[in-house]
């Protein structure tokens, strides 16, 4: 047991680290650990900004160490099966349009240490677009390919004062709690993504992906794409349950693919994530979700904030390259990035 990461490094007892700290600490911890020769698995989102994420990736390359992004949703059996059904089996044809919505009255509990840093952009990097939304921004690019442009409008209705905040002491909540986003993919696919957690009354949780041959409904929490399963309703009126989709997917895999995707029959997505990290180190290969893949997901979340800040659509590539960073600049300045 160590009181700080510096003590852990000084003890020279570890080869690798799994960083599960608040977002503002990811880059400092990861870079110190990489410079000390450890491999790192960093919780999503990789860094607090695009610059922070690139600094982590650069430290990994400089020190020839593995940087992996801890992202479990894409590794779930249901998620892998839905991706296969869409891209390989072409179950719903060409995917054209999706609607993804979550509306609730769920104020963060700012008395809990877990939420104090989550209420302030300088510490968390952004609200739910950067939190559960980080799973969504990874999965939709993993499944549907490259994004062209993002248009976002957002609101912060919950501006309560938060006390005993790490680093800052006391500050008003400023993370978004409401948004309306349109994501246009290079394929032409349009994804309509809406969220509000300051909405008393009717709850809404809905995600349906529409293609030329039918639609696929997400059966779980919409931001954890397909983790809770999916069901298809096809143009001829026929249906395919999640169990049928998963069974067809598993039968399509060779023994070697099964071992790579579900090592030793493991279906626990966190277990697969950690095994992948350790095996990547042992086998001198890239993990399934390396640093650049984490940056890729991160840049889509940031594109939403940049669009809302600038009041216009932004190109995904301009955010990934770092050219557009109006929202991120105060965060980069604060952390001297």
Ligand X SMILES: NC(=O)c1ccc[n+]([C@@H]2O[C@H](COP(=O)([O-])OP(=O)(O)OC[C@H]3O[C@@H](n4cnc5c(N)ncnc54)[C@H](O)[C@@H]3O)[C@@H](O)[C@H]2O)c1
Binding site for ligand X (CB under 6 A): 5, 20-23, 25, 29, 43-44, 70, 72, 113-114, 131
Nearer to ligand X, 75 or 315 (CB): 75
Helix (H, G, I), strand (E, B) or coil at 66: coil
Closest CB 234 distance from ligand X, rounded Å:
32
Closest CB 132 distance from ligand X, rounded Å:
8
Nearer to ligand X, 21 or 205 (CB): 21
Angle of the 242-252 helix axis to the 77-87 helix axis, nearest 10: 80
Output the six-digit token pair for 168. Answer: 């800052």
Closest CB 65 distance from ligand X, rounded Å:
19
Closest CB 212 distance from ligand X, rounded Å:
33
Nearer to ligand X, 17 or 232 (CB): 17
Nearer to ligand X, 123 or 324 (CB): 123
Output the six-digit token pair for 24. Answer: 């503002």
Closest CB 72 distance from ligand X, rounded Å:
5
Cα(26)–Cα(3) distance, rounded to whole angstroms?
17
3-state class percentages of the chain: helix first, strand second, coil last, to nearest 5: 40, 25, 35
Closest CB 45 distance from ligand X, rounded Å:
7
Cα(84)–Cα(86) distance, rounded to whole angstroms?
5
Nearer to ligand X, 43 or 288 (CB): 43
- Exposure letters 296-322 (e unless 16+ CB within 10 A, then b): bbbbbbbbbbbbbbeeeebbbbebbee
Residue 78: closest CA among 295, 261, 204: 261
Angle at 209 between CA 203 and CA 210, to 5 degrees: 125
Nearer to ligand X, 131 or 218 (CB): 131
């Amino acid at each position: 047991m160590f009181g700080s990461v510096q003590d852990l490094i000084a003890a020279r007892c570890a080869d690798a680290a799994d960083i599960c700290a608040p977002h503002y600490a990811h880059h400092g911890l990861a870079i110190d650990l990489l410079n000390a020769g450890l491999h790192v698995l960093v919780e999503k989102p990789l860094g607090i900004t695009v610059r922070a994420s690139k600094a982590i990736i650069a430290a990994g390359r400089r020190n020839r160490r593995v940087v992996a992004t801890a992202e479990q949703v894409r590794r779930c059996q249901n998620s892998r099966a839905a991706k296969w059904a869409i891209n390989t089996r072409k179950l719903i044809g060409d995917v054209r349009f999706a609607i993804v919505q979550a509306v609730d009255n769920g104020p963060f509990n700012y008395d809990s240490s877990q939420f104090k840093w989550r209420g302030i952009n300088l510490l968390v990097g952004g609200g739910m677009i950067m939190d559960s939304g980080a799973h969504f921004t990874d999965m939709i690019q993993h499944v549907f390919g490259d994004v062209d442009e993002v248009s976002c409008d957002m609101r912060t209705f919950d501006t309560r004062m938060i006390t005993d905040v790490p680093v800052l002491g006391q500050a008003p909540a400023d993370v978004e709690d409401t948004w309306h986003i349109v994501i246009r993919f290079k394929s032409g696919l349009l994804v309509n993504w809406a969220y509000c957690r300051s909405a008393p009354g009717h709850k809404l949780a809905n995600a349906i992906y529409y293609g030329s041959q039918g639609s696929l409904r997400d059966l779980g929490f919409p931001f954890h794409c397909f983790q809770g399963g999916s069901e298809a309703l096809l143009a001829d009126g026929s249906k395919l349950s999640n169990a049928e989709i998963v069974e067809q997917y598993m039968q399509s895999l060779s023994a070697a693919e099964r071992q790579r995707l579900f090592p030793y029959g493991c279906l626990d997505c966190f277990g697969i994530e950690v095994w992948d990290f350790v095996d990547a180190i042992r086998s001198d290969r890239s993990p399934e979700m390396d640093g650049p893949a984490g940056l890729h997901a991160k840049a889509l979340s940031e594109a939403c904030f940049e669009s809302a800040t600038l009041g216009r659509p932004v190109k995904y590539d301009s955010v990934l390259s770092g050219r557009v960073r109006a929202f991120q600049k105060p965060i980069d300045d604060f952390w001297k990035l």
